[in-house]
Structure 1
Amino acid sequence: MLRFVTSSGSLIIENVGSSDEGLYQCAVHVTDKKSFVWTYFSRRAAVRLPSLSRFEIQPEDREVHVGQSVAFACVLDSQPSAHIEWFFNGKRIISGRDDSSLTIFPVTSTLEISSVLPKHEGAYRCVATNEGKTRASRDAQLTIKPENSVGNEFSEPNFILEPRGDVVNEGESVVLECLVNGWPRPDVRWLKGAETISLTGDRMRQLGSSSFMILKAKAEDTGVYTCRASNSQESLDASATVQVKVAPKIISEPNSVVAQETTDVEFYCEASGEPGPSISWYKNGEAIIASEYFVIEATRLRVLGLVRNDQGVYQCIAENDAGSVQSNAQLIVDSSEELLQLYALKFYSMNETTSISEEIMNVNNTDSFSMAASSGQPKLPSEPLGVRASVVGSRFVVLTWDPPVQRHGAVLAYHIFYKEQDSLRERMLNSTATSFTVTPLQPNTTYVFRLVAENEAGMGKSSTRILITTAEEKAVPGKVKNLRGTALSPETVEVSWEPPGGNGPEPVQYKLFYIRKDHEVNEKETQIVVCQIFFFERLDFHIANNM
């Protein structure tokens, strides 16, 4: 075994062995001017060694009457598909050349003799060839029964060949076999589901006496196919399921994004295929594992609280049994400071003969945009004051703060930055008020919070950081069991239940709710008598536990 990569990037494998089997893909690394490496991965390619297994089905000896039908089958697993030839008494059979009653089916290579004659008596063998390997079946003897034996008495249909279920890829061909004996000779028709199939179309063709082939299978060809054989004696069915697999196709690709640190981004990736493809995500060639900050959903990837290290190539790969397909997008992460520099460049790139304040004042000398730049330079707001937690729960925190002293115009938004105490990944939320509920958080976890105000000139100075630890999550009792009610009189109902099971805490009391009106009863026992109800009134009850 020898592997080497050519100057063009191709991989050459010499003297391929079993250890070389598997999936291969190439990685392309692109380094930009800032020495950042962007990595793109190709689709996967499979390497398999040729194989030719033992026969799963071999031809078997047959005894038939003249005029009846017979078939011989050869089935084995091979990679790639083996070429199968048939021999009669040592001579190769060429389908349809010398004898119109002999048919070798495509795909399955089954040999059918639609109407047996004395000349067909003899030995039959199949030979499978694949990449230089050859495997021959045993000989099967076809014997003609004597004329004086029963051959033309009335008999119900008897299947010689029955359709076999098959799973194929879109575009491949499918052969559904069916061969029937009986007297009178049975009439055969095919159904898909409950509908009769016409075998006169472009993609569905009859093979031999009563088999048929689907050319270039499509997804809509998936279904249950039935061969129905009937004569004056009986009607019999033989069915098989065909599944057509369709390789994935991406119908919604992820888009490249330029985003600021601490913000959240989303990549969408939707694919079709049969069976439905699974979607996996990769960043610079490494599989993304779902976490608190990398949220993987059915058709999207959410990256929360961006940091500079999140920058890279994001690829979605859709895979099913029929194949795989991929699409990629770039994520470029800019820091807050870099974005503020962009704000400044926008102001300073104005006409040099006109001051910034003059340019803005021509629009509206009272708006906040003018106030933020009235001195000739953009004025940013000072830091918000008095950042505090007014409510702390196990999974949320209500933050409250006071506006900055120096606003320099209207405050357009407040940006709430937060992260776990030991994390580098900071998230950002926005609010136009001076109070905001941050959720969802983790119980009993310390978070770092800070706030920044933004006016027309941009984002201002950050507030002092504060530490807040969320509360512990309290366990609650489980559901009560076996809630039931019994009418004691036209105006009285007895409601009873069993205490909740499980490992939860013991209930301190029970609350009983019923629907007639907003009414509740607090009770420490596990039963209660409800009075003062209307005659024959229907009541619905449910129980809540209190600690």
Structure 2
Amino acid sequence: MRGLRSLIVGLLSAFFSTAFGLYFPPDVEQLPTITAQTSGSFIALPFDENFLFKCEAKGNPRPTYRWTKDGMDFDLHKDSQLIKEESSGSFLIPKDMAKYEGKYRCYASNKLGTAISEESELVVPMTPKFPKKKIEPAVVTEGDSVVLECNPPQGIPPSQLYWMTNDLQHIEQNERVTMGLNGNLYFSNTLMSDSHDDYSCFASFSKIRTIVQKPRMVLRVKPSQGDDGFKSVQKRKPSILVPSSHSTTYLKKGEALELECIAEGLPTPVVEFIKMWENLPNRTHIKNYGKVLTIPNVTEQDEGKYMCKAKNDLGEDEHYFQVVVEEPPSWQEEPVKSQLVKIGSEIHIKCSARGKPQPTIIWKRNGQPLDDFPSTNYKVLDDRIIILRAQQRDTAVYQCEASNRHGTLLFNANVLVMNHPPLILTRDYLEYSTMLGKSVIMDCEVFSSPPATINWRREDPEGSLDGERYSLLKNGSLQIHKVEMEDMGQYKCLAKNSEGTMSLTIELFIKDSTRIVEPPQDTKVKRGSMAKLECQVECDPTLRRELEILWMKDGMNILSNFSERYFTDDGTLQIVSVSHSDQGKYTCVVRTSLDQDTASAYITVLDIPDPPVQLTLSERKNRSVRLHWAAASDHNSPITEFIIQYEENNWDPENWKELLRVAGSQISAPLTLYGHINYQFRVIAVNAIGRSLPSMPSERYKTPPCAPDRNPENIKIEGRLPHQMDIIWE
């Protein structure tokens, strides 16, 4: 019932979750759960020093461990060579691992139940060897087919097979002579030149760095003779040697398909692969001189009927392959890891798996077959167990194993049947703080069985929890939206079920907001000078000690990412010897544990312009030329004028003189010139900060000779010596 002074809700225990398991307080008993394990198949290499079987679990009481090997009890304490970890069920097998080959499983148990690990296998292979026995020579008539068998020993994959002679020359392979996937050497037909007494099959095992050789084989090819005594080789139509019979190929989705088709005949047959009723996939590869079809990473679309056809001039032979693509088991939906239920409840444990073939489901309880526990309150419905009127004795770890020929999935489902009074996990008399207008969540996390009813009420001062501003969350927490000053005070959370009651008191404080009262201002500053930004802030007095002021430049923390030219002190940012790279957006961030505020300003760096660029000449005449240029960066201060200078390399070289000034809006100017002078020009840009450096000089332009513009003026004649006269003019 919801009243004026309380807000009540019925919900599951605060930590109850059917999807993600349970959290148990430390003083509540809990079933074992495997937390770390070794799974899969492992091959012990000759140079491996040891192998670790890992098994770690949690539970209350603390779990104890035992192992099985190949389904039989395996007592670690009876083998002094094993190195056991005291804090877990893990153990280390020493270097001599041959006697430890087998399939292992770990059992973690306490008084409530037993969890089991996935089965893991240790394979300790023997060094591969070919049998040492005499091989009778293969004797055939020229043109006949023959097979030299390799029969390689089993070893650690990957392996590589090849045929060589005694002098380590590879046997040449082609459409006529081919090594099959099984290592055998197939001759579709024989020639006299095939006769050798040193055919040898080699098997290389890279992981153990081993190469083994089969005893050499002898092939003798006799000449073919007809009834008249002359050489006569009988031609024949193809006959498929491999595969020898129709078969179905089963693959796991994602594996590579390999179909092999080797035929004998004379002339040498040509092999072709076809997929019945449709085209071969685009990713199909034909290898081994056309005799092997491969399709990587197969999918359901690659299923179907394939055919290989071997043909020559005399006929053809066919073989059909049925390809089935299957999948290992996978969960249709993730099973529930843990369930906490009250006594008398109905429990559903679901284990729904898919795969091809459809997985077989096996149920266990505490690692033992479910049939070993006769009970009248169990119902097994293929992919689920239903426990009716559950009692404490039904508390256990239930295992589901879903298997097909491609693998096994194991799942441990912890089912705890118990009644427990509410246990509030949130600390009592916890203090919460928030700002006016913000939202706050006050926790009341509860463990209980059956589920507790949660009741929140206002204590001091008393008040209503009615209205849209108050929400009760699924985990029992109370959320207040758009907090008002009247919300400050004490609150009580009460948790109640059939087993008891527990309460929690919480206090809520309302703080003044943190805010920037004097934000930084946009600033223009000359390069090389100092820039300063101010950021003054007010916050709640109780939060002053934790107040933090940060400066960001273009979204990056200044103190972490920029140079030592940046200094901050109590809301003031100083940048000494400002450069162009300091231009950008600066943000002041002020924050406490409860809120934050930000304000931004832009620093513009002013500087003299960059020199003009791209000087070119046009409209070339005897006494004039037009100069063009392009303005470069004005560095945030508009260009007011351009100064055009000239230099000539005959009368006064390397001495630049001003020729003309034009407005900053112009990008070309006509220049009046004198005759018979070899000019070059440069341009200087001017803004309020100063002059730019001169541009690069233009190409030279030499004006032709010409008559003077006018006669000399202001002629003066002076005589200072008896035999000398000085004449001066303009």
Q: State percent identity of aligned pairs.
A: 21
Q: Which is higher, the Rg of structure 1 or of structure 2?
A: 2
Equivalent residues, number:
350
Hey, what does 1:45 align to over in structure 2?
Answer: 120
Deviations 1:99-152 (A, max 9, x none): 7975545x5334345775554321323244665695725624152644854335
Hey, what does 1:277 align to over in structure 2?
Answer: 359
**The one of 362, 383, 396 aligned to 1:299:** 383
Distance 1:26 1:342 in 2: 31
Q: 1:219–1:274: 8 Å Cα contact kept in structure 2? A: no
| Corresponding letter in the other structure for 1:63 | V
| Corresponding letter in the other structure for 1:23 | K
CA separation of 1:245 and 1:348: change in aligned 2, threshold 3 A: closer
Cα drift, residue 332 of structure 1: 3.0
Distance 1:318 1:60 in 2: 52
Stretches of structure 1 that go unaligned for 5 or more consecutive residues are: 360-377, 381-547
CA separation of 1:144 and 1:344: change in aligned 2, threshold 3 A: closer
Hey, what does 1:22 align to over in structure 2?
Answer: 102
Matches within 5 A, 1:437-448: none
Hey, what does 1:109 align to over in structure 2?
Answer: 183
CA separation of 1:225 and 1:49: change in aligned 2, threshold 3 A: farther
Deviations 1:361-406 (A, max 9, x none): xxxxxxxxxxxxxxxxx999xxxxxxxxxxxxxxxxxxxxxxxxxx
Structure 2 length normalisation: TM-score? 0.40
Cα drift, residue 221 of structure 1: 4.8
CA separation of 1:64 and 1:277: change in aligned 2, threshold 3 A: farther
SS of the equivalent of 1:108 reads coil
Distance 1:345 1:210 in 2: 71
Hey, what does 2:243 align to over in structure 1?
Answer: 162
Hey, what does 2:194 align to over in structure 1?
Answer: 120
| Corresponding letter in the other structure for 2:259 | L
Hey, what does 1:346 align to over in structure 2?
Answer: 453
Distance 2:304 2:153 in 1: 24
Hey, what does 1:483 align to over in structure 2?
Answer: none
SS of the equivalent of 1:302 reads strand
**The one of 68, 74, 91 aligned to 1:11:** 91
Q: 1:265–1:304: 8 Å Cα contact kept in structure 2? A: yes
Distance 1:322 1:251 in 2: 17
Q: 1:69–1:116: 8 Å Cα contact kept in structure 2? A: yes
Hey, what does 2:214 align to over in structure 1?
Answer: 136
SS of the equivalent of 1:150 reads coil
CA separation of 1:345 and 1:318: change in aligned 2, threshold 3 A: closer
Hey, what does 2:724 align to over in structure 1?
Answer: none
Cα drift, residue 27 of structure 1: 4.2
Cα drift, residue 306 of structure 1: 1.0
Distance 2:266 2:155 in 1: 42
CA separation of 1:189 and 1:102: change in aligned 2, threshold 3 A: closer
Cα drift, residue 195 of structure 1: 3.6
| Corresponding letter in the other structure for 1:111 | L
Cα drift, residue 5 of structure 1: 2.9
Q: 1:73–1:110: 8 Å Cα contact kept in structure 2? A: yes
| Corresponding letter in the other structure for 1:190 | F
Question: Could you say what the CA RMSD is over the residues aligned between the two structures, in angstroms?
Answer: 4.8
CA separation of 1:249 and 1:127: change in aligned 2, threshold 3 A: same
Q: Which has the higher contact order (CA 8 A, sep 6+)?
A: 2
CA separation of 1:37 and 1:347: change in aligned 2, threshold 3 A: closer
Hey, what does 1:74 align to over in structure 2?
Answer: 150
Hey, what does 1:430 align to over in structure 2?
Answer: none
Deviations 1:208-239 (A, max 9, x none): 24333343455655555433334564443334
Note if 1:61 corresponds to 2:168: no
**The one of 273, 279, 285 aligned to 1:190:** 273
Distance 1:18 1:122 in 2: 41
CA separation of 1:21 and 1:379: change in aligned 2, threshold 3 A: closer
Matches within 5 A, 1:413-428: none
Hey, what does 1:268 align to over in structure 2?
Answer: 350
CA separation of 1:325 and 1:60: change in aligned 2, threshold 3 A: farther
CA separation of 1:344 and 1:122: change in aligned 2, threshold 3 A: closer
Hey, what does 1:529 align to over in structure 2?
Answer: none
CA separation of 1:20 and 1:327: change in aligned 2, threshold 3 A: same
Distance 1:254 1:89 in 2: 59
Q: 1:60–1:72: 8 Å Cα contact kept in structure 2? A: no
Deviations 1:271-299 (A, max 9, x none): 22333322223344444337433333321
Matches within 5 A, 1:145-544: 145-146=223-224, 148-151=230-233, 153=235, 155-162=236-243, 165=247, 169-183=252-266, 185-192=268-275, 194-195=276-277, 198=280, 201-218=282-299, 221=302, 225-231=306-312, 233-242=314-323, 246-255=327-336, 256-289=338-371, 291=374, 292-335=376-419, 346=453, 350-351=457-458
Q: 1:71–1:161: 8 Å Cα contact kept in structure 2? A: no
Distance 2:451 2:351 in 1: 36
Deviations 1:282-333 (A, max 9, x none): 3444443374333333211222221123234333222222222223333232
| Corresponding letter in the other structure for 1:321 | R
Distance 2:299 2:100 in 1: 33
Distance 1:14 1:102 in 2: 47
Cα drift, residue 259 of structure 1: 2.0
Distance 2:353 2:342 in 1: 29
Cα drift, residue 43 of structure 1: 1.8
Stretches of structure 2 that go unaligned for 5 or more consecutive residues are: 1-78, 424-447, 467-495, 499-730
| Corresponding letter in the other structure for 2:360 | S
Distance 1:250 1:331 in 2: 20
CA separation of 1:241 and 1:347: change in aligned 2, threshold 3 A: closer
| Corresponding letter in the other structure for 1:109 | G
Distance 2:161 2:454 in 1: 82
SS of the equivalent of 1:46 reads strand
Q: 1:205–1:212: 8 Å Cα contact kept in structure 2? A: yes
SS of the equivalent of 2:453 reads helix
| Corresponding letter in the other structure for 1:236 | D
Distance 1:307 1:92 in 2: 75
| Corresponding letter in the other structure for 2:386 | R
SS of the equivalent of 1:309 reads helix
SS of the equivalent of 1:75 reads coil
Distance 2:418 2:343 in 1: 6
Q: 2:163–2:170: 8 Å Cα contact kept in structure 1? A: no
Cα drift, residue 172 of structure 1: 4.3
| Corresponding letter in the other structure for 1:108 | N
